[in-house]
Amino acid sequence: MKISFKTLQNMPAIIGRLTKWRGMVLAALLGAVASFAMPPYSCLAMLFFAGILFLWLLLAAKNKKQATMLGFCFGFGFFALGLAWVNNAILLFAPHLSFLTPLVVIGFGIWGGSFIAVAALIAFCFRNNKWAFILSFAAAFMLMEWVRSWLWTGFPWNLTALAWDKSDYVMQSLALFGAYGLGLMTWILIGVLAIIPFIKKKADVIAVLVFFSVVVGGLYGYGFARLLNADKKFDDVITVRLVQPNVKSQLTWDKKRAEKDFADLIALTKDGIDENGVTHVIWGETAVPFPLYDGSPAVEKIIKELPFYLTIISGTVRKDDKGVYNSAVVINSQGKIVGTYDKSHLVPFGEYVPLRGILPLEKFTAGMGDFTAGSGPSLIEIPYAGNISMLICYEVIFPAAVKKEGTRPDWLLNLTYDGWYGASAGPYQHFAAARMRAIEEGLPLVRVASTGISGVIDPYGEVVESLPLDTRGVLDIRLPIAIENGTLYGDFGNAIPLGLALAVLLVSLLLCNVKRMRKY
């Protein structure tokens, strides 16, 4: 069926005539549709489709309250469906609490919807000028993505930029302005398409489409040139072995099973290790179920069973007089602990209970006590392999927060245990977020997950090699070398996207105040 330009012009009006409650239902459905732009589906077209229709709804809002509710409903649908996989942690570990799963979905919807409601309210204030409206919404949306990265401990999961995961070219722009900046550009592009029906002259439509093409072409062109001139190098000496035992018994604690798993981990580690020139072995988050300290039985077993020349990096649980930590340790070839990192960004209700003295709740994970937070990112020296920034679990999802301020490691290391979430979208989204950090910082990233996805990512975001989800095995890979001069985003961090967002908001204000501004 042929759709005429006139028919297209009538579409926003048709959508705008929906009754109040029907419009909110549609907004929630559009948010749910947009969630399929995230990995593993990565259907970018769904984000553009849902985003355009949502902006039409928002433009038709009668007042601030309705605009705010439409934004809330869109966010509710996006986050409720997009984060529903979190319920696997309850179903796998605490099935007796399965009655809570609807509350988790609703809770994520309310939480995420609140941020987009603010963005919608801000954009509504600029509704009298279509260009100002779309620019202000894009800027406000980006600012809300940044806010949710630190508010209430922060959770910047499924940023808009992740929708470009399948486009290696566009993803290179992360080196310039990071995930927040790419999200800003994405919503500007969506907005540009959304205002086409409001344009009366076809010549002006062509001008808008040219603008759209220039921006998209710029993103693709920069990425193409960057990858074309990429100087990809690998260390001549360092070969890391990533060990993925695919053990799910970490969900519960049983001493006999833990001993068996530890023995199995060592057996898998040393299988054929002499043949590939392995120098460093990496195990995942809490991979060793026993304390690792100088002279501990677990360390003695490692020294006895594995070749003497290896350096071991492993996740473990560490205790001292201040608390219990989700940690990673570095064990040198003499069996000495030469580096320790304590996870600083803890998962609410997974690793600690917020307001424990008030809320009558316990963690969903094994053990009744809370973990203690570490001091934050640090530079850890690895024998014969340079300096690393260690990231445990979802610490890798925080843009511009993966290394100690003022330092530049040689590579990033992410240890995680994604077994909580089974064969869901979660592990794929987690891995995709790790790719973004590698591009942003211009650093290679090694990721080891006990159940997958494990892999080595070069500083341009290319996956050198990986082990799929729910697969047992090892990878022996030469370590990629970091980009020598780093990246613009790596040097200046979120100052770049925040500056861009404020500049876009300023342009929106100017557009609304210029007299005789042409209105579409």
- Active-site entry in 73, 270, 285, 403: 285
Q: What is the pLDDT of residue 516?
A: 47
Statement: residue 145 has pLDDT above 90: yes
- Could you tell me the pLDDT band of residue 517, with boundaries at 50, 70 and 90? very low
Between 419 and 359, where is the model more confident? 419
393 is catalytic: yes
Model pLDDT for residues 419-453, shown as the tens digit of each residue? 888 889 999 999 999 999 999 999 999 999 999 89
Helix, coil or strand: residue 470: coil
SS (H, E, C) 264-303: HHHHHHHCCHHHCCCCEEECCCCCCCCCCCCCCHHHHHHH
Give the residue ranges of DSSP H helices in 94-152: 101-124, 130-147
Across-strand partners of 317?
A: 326
- Of the candidates 9, 54, 12, 64, the residue with the CA atom closest to the CA atom of residue 34: 54
484 is catalytic: no
Q: What is the pLDDT of residue 274?
A: 85
Q: What is the pLDDT of residue 465?
A: 97
Calpha distance 451→458 (Å, rounded) = 21
Domain architecture of the chain: domains with CATH: 5-229+494-513 (no CATH), 234-482 (3.60.110.10)
Tokens 């494990």, located at residue:
454
CA torsion, points 104, 110, 116, 120, in degrees to nearest 10?
A: 160
Range of weakest confidence among 15-24, 65-74, 84-93, 297-306: 15-24
What's the token pair of residue 412?
């990033």
- Could you tell me the pLDDT band of residue 99, with boundaries at 50, 70 and 90? confident
> Is the peptide bond between 40 and the residue preceding it cis, with omega within 30 degrees of 0?
yes
- Mean of the per-residue pLDDT values of the chain: 91
Statement: residue 520 has pLDDT above 50: no
Q: What is the pLDDT of residue 504?
A: 97
Of the chain, the percentage scoring pLDDT greater than 90 comes to 75
pTM, two decimals, is: 0.93
- Active-site entry in 73, 363, 393, 395: 393
- Active-site entry in 73, 130, 145, 343: 343
SS (H, E, C) 432-466: HHHHHHHHHHCCCEEEEECCCCEEEECCCCCEEEE
Q: What is the pLDDT of residue 250?
A: 58
Whole-Å CA distances, 325 to 154, 255, 317, 392, 496: 20, 20, 6, 11, 34
Range of weakest confidence among 18-32, 240-254, 400-414: 240-254
* Amino acid at site 518: R
Model pLDDT for residues 44-89, shown as the tens digit of each residue? 999 999 999 999 999 999 999 999 999 999 999 999 999 999 988 8
Statement: residue 5 has pLDDT above 80: no
Model pLDDT for residues 486-496, shown as the tens digit of each residue? 999 999 999 99
125 is catalytic: no
